[in-house]
Structure 1
């Protein structure tokens, strides 16, 4: 318990200490600026915001702190400890550098592999050349793999709990039809405390106080590590770690998509943590494990893309009616009981035979609304609403059957909706032609 309290104290230190708090405040500002752009785009699409930029930012900060506390507690109980000369914080710097090559390389599975392989090669070189000064990084590969694994488990939990906030409705093309979906983009900053060890006579300083460790600790490699730590002083290094989630779905609801993605990430984290068991079988095995880690992460991404390509689109209209992609909270549509995924069959006794009928209704909402809708489970319902003449937009995003006319399209710097769908359809046609030739 004393070790756990000490770890949580160091996490708190990373939040309230002025120099650390400054980092948290700056990241909060960055998050707010991004969330403001997201909210602006959402308002253009839906007519109103589901959540304010401030609420989105506070959610990121609070969930990040929760994730940092959870990760630190798991690190502590498992016994994830690095030597004071390991310079483990470099792993986060490498992540930032790799991100410039590809945003997904921000993930620790890539930077951790780079740091771990570099550490092993320097250790081999120092022994081969009989030059101890070359061994600049003393990274424990078992702890490094556990660090990567635990951070992914926590990341998966954050995706499930907070990943769908701020999701934006988007459109694409599938089988020559317009389909609707959602784009996700969330980041969190985690204040974590990583345990560090040093020789009692080294004279090296670690912030905080030395604490006694319980007899059962550490859980990982208990026998060998327990004997090692009895001759060491254990301290903690508070720092910030960033994790993020970016994805698009046309085949799942927002909740289902984040649950699926989060479960995959958690599974990957457990897999990498399990790999750490084999890291005591020499540097060759360690190198193999460090290579497997990013490859497994790429395989996870490929699998998620594969399921997205092969599953049936969830949001598309048909001859029967017009599909609702999203419903703004606290809107007229929400009050009426409309939900994402509903199919509008009739409005005021008129069957929706053309997209133009739906657009005309959205532009001029009558005083009385009667709708026949088909729920996602196939149930047919009739709903109505009166006295809406003074209310604004109904608050829904629909998926049209056909490309809207130019008068219905809001132009942007990147082109209009017609341009986007034409490009998508051309790409699909090119893919089909390529498959036919093969």
Structure 2
């Protein structure tokens, strides 16, 4: 068994290394670069500068994706999940098209659901439904790990207007979180018909291996370790709390989703009905999670909610005076150097002349009072280095959950009118 484990580690690393030089990998990297470029432009508009270069973001996410791809490959090879690689390529192409429509659709749940349902209805293309769905489940589990560790990085502070109740609007701060990962990985493939470099599997195989394989797979079918590239994307809006807190909650929900999808996909190998169940569950459950989170974004409580006559901290620049003092997002600043502050103009007035000493009274997001101190007799202090939320601040980002249902609502409305008119 130890020989089996060692061969998996060795062959996975070798195959992924070769994949880094393939055109498939670089197509995904270029797509991710394009998406991060759009994010850079928005960050420039909001902050007036970019905190990290485009190259840094792409390299950082590529390294995280490389680690994620290695984990996916290890799980796939350990359990022996055999997939028709041509079926997986359908996911690749559909996901690319969906990503161009909307970046948040850079998710294999939607692509897997679409191609699986089409195959179930029309019997064309002949897709290995169970195989691709179980791989998608593993990808989402690894995605939950990436979100937990990496999802909050580079979050952009924004100001939004929320409709908490009918006719009641409120201004709030939030953080726009977007991360994209190229996932170079290895799957166990059969019916392989493309030209990429592959490795024939010659392992010391346990009696139970491979555990997941199509029923029509012949005993003498040659299995190949096939390097492929997947793409994962994460998009969320941190309204209730700081990005690190929200991304960890999202990671927890996504991990539960991935485990359920894995179970349904595993059952679909033996029970045909579960092919339908898993195929529909993947996109519907994933979209339901997104819409539930968006509903909370609009209607839930927020530590960044604007309040009358209060200065609330939304964002603290790295290495700024505020960061060195210990001011945190969600803090309400009560006074600076004994002067009460209730508007952003009050802070500007204090720093119209450089200060050499600061004494700040604030209340943190849990309601605890704190007093903070800072001094710089040599250079003086010209600002705190924060972005604040007040009642008069204008929104610079719009959230809209209903736009995703405009087409569906339009069709439903026409059907309703047709039935109503027919009845009368």
TM-score bracket, normalised by the shorter chain, equals 0.7 to 0.9
How many angstroms apart in 2 are the aligned matches of 1:3 and 1:330?
44
Q: Out of 297, 301, 309, which is 2:298 matched to?
A: 309
Which position in structure 2 is the counterpart of 1:33?
37
Q: Deviations over 1:11-56 (max 9, x none)?
A: 11111x3545644664575466346435524542xxx655444433
How many angstroms apart in 1 are the aligned matches of 2:277 and 2:57?
40
How many angstroms apart in 2 are the aligned matches of 1:255 and 1:149?
24
Residue 354 of structure 1 and its aligned partner are, at CA, apart by: 3.5
Q: Is 1:109 aligned to residue 113 of structure 2?
A: no
Moved beyond 6 Å, runs of 4+: 418-421
Q: Is the 8 A contact 2:180 2:234 kept in 1?
A: yes
Residue 350 of structure 1 and its aligned partner are, at CA, apart by: 1.2
Q: SS of 1:151's equivalent?
A: helix
Which position in structure 1 is the counterpart of 2:94?
94
Q: SS of 2:205's equivalent?
A: coil
Which position in structure 1 is the counterpart of 2:199?
208
Q: How is 1:27-426 mapped onto 2 (pairs within 5 angstroms)?
A: 27=31, 29-30=33-34, 33-34=37-38, 36-37=40-41, 39-41=43-45, 43-44=47-48, 50-83=51-84, 86-121=86-121, 123=123, 137=126, 139-174=127-162, 175-198=168-191, 207-218=198-209, 220-221=211-212, 230-318=219-307, 321-361=310-350, 364-387=353-376, 389-390=379-380, 393-403=383-393, 417=394
How many angstroms apart in 2 are the aligned matches of 1:12 and 1:172?
43
Residue 82 of structure 1 and its aligned partner are, at CA, apart by: 1.6
TM-score (normalizing by structure 2): 0.80
How many angstroms apart in 1 are the aligned matches of 2:247 and 2:218?
40
TM-score (normalizing by structure 1): 0.78
Which position in structure 1 is the counterpart of 2:11?
6
How many angstroms apart in 1 are the aligned matches of 2:278 and 2:169?
44
Residue 307 of structure 1 and its aligned partner are, at CA, apart by: 3.0
Residue 361 of structure 1 and its aligned partner are, at CA, apart by: 3.3
- Deviates most, 300-309 or 68-77: 300-309
- Deviates most, 88-97 or 281-290: 281-290
Q: Deviations over 1:192-228 (max 9, x none)?
A: 11211259xx9x9972233225114436358x87x95
How many angstroms apart in 1 are the aligned matches of 2:121 and 2:36?
42
How many angstroms apart in 2 are the aligned matches of 1:220 and 1:142?
13
Q: Is the 8 A contact 2:151 2:177 kept in 1?
A: yes
- Deviates most, 176-185 or 353-362: 353-362
How many angstroms apart in 1 are the aligned matches of 2:289 and 2:210?
28
Structure 1: gaps spanning 5 or more residues = 124-134, 404-416, 425-438
Matched residues, number: 389
Q: Is the 8 A contact 2:134 2:266 kept in 1?
A: no
Q: Tell me: CA distance 1:92–1:198, structure 2 relative to 1, closer, same or farther (3 Å).
A: closer
CA RMSD of aligned residues (A): 3.3
